[in-house]
Amino acid sequence: MNCTDIWQLAPLYLSGELDSARTEQFAAHLRTCDACAREIGQQQAFDSLLQAGVLSEPIDSATVERVERAVERMVRRSIAAESRRRVLAVAGIAATLAVAAFGIRMASRAARATIAPIYTAAAFDHRIEIVDGQPRKWFTDPAAIEGLARSQGIAESAVYALAPAGYRLAKAKVCLLDGRLFLHLVYANAAGNVSLYLRRTDRVRSVHAETRGKEHVAGFQEHQLTAVVVTEQPGDAAERLARTAFAIL
């Protein structure tokens, strides 16, 4: 190494980034070259001075706390905005979920045309299988339900994650809605039942919600799943479940 090499490598030497061979060559040059040895010594001394000088100015705790509080506020706002964006992004139409109990006023024509048949079929399926209780072969064993979910390309964890608060997973089967296979999950509590129809999909489509007869239906499609919620319970139960399921996915 010559003096020019030392000049070029000095920052890497001072930061300890030279490999051991080059560190040794560097040190060997310093032992034989007074000018470079003095130079590196001075650089180290000035580095210490600079470090001590800057670090001796404390950052006061009031400032730190002020910024921490501001960051926490921003994070909270960002989380709220994020969940709003998620709903809006897939919904496409801002208010569709909110009209679950009232009809289809806000839904776009395109969404109606493609999803409406599934809604009709889901509402009908829920009425005869759940409300009227026509005999069907249901799976009630959790392991069997998980296996059924997997067979439809749906993660078994989703079966539990999508359970509405206060409801337990009661039973499941596969059924045909508008010519397509769906995993039909039934969640129950003292108040009644909620059907959730899930199907793997690769299309993105908007959320849609409406009432079919006595059944309240709400649903959405995200990038891997079509979901339809049906309940005979009055009010906004379908909407709330769709919202929750959507947030989980």
Partner 1 sequence: MSARQDEFERVAMCHMRSLLRVARRLTSGSSQAEDLVQECFLLAWRGFHQLREGTNTRAWLFRILFNAFYAQGRKRRRAPDTVSLTADVSAPVSSLSRRVPPLDESVEVARALAALQLDHRTVLLLAVVEGFTCSEIAEILGVPVGTVTSRLSRARQAMRMRLAPKAAGAAWAGKEQG
68 binds partner 1 (CB under 8 A): yes
Burial of 116 (0-12, 13-18, 19+ CB in 10 A): middle
Residue 215 corresponds to which tokens in the numbers above? 């059944």
With CB under 8 A as the contact rule, the residue among 21, 52, 165, 190 that binds partner 1 is: 52
With CB under 8 A as the contact rule, the residue among 24, 27, 29, 75 that binds partner 1 is: 75
Place of tokens 């979910």: 149
Distance (Å, whole) CA 51 – CA 60: 18
With CB under 8 A as the contact rule, the residue among 1, 22, 25, 43 that binds partner 1 is: 43
Among Zn ion, partner 1, none, partner that 104 touches (CB below 5 to 8 angstroms by kind): none
Smallest distance, Zn ion to C-beta of residue 30, A = 8
User: φ, ψ for residue 10 (rounded to 5)?
Assistant: -50, -45
Q: Is 186 helix (H, G, I), strand (E, B) or coil?
A: strand
Contacts with Zn ion, residue ranges (CB under 5 A): 3, 33, 36
Nearest to 99 by CA among 201, 3, 219, 5: 219
156 and 141 Cβ atoms separated by less than 8 Å: no
In the bound state with Zn ion, the residue whose beta carbon lies nearer, of 36 and 122, is 36
> Rule CB under 8 A: which of 121-180 touch partner 1?
none
7 binds partner 1 (CB under 8 A): yes
Binding residues for partner 1, per CB under 8 A? 3-4, 7-12, 14-17, 35-36, 38-39, 42-43, 46-47, 49-60, 63-64, 66-68, 70-71, 74-75, 78-79
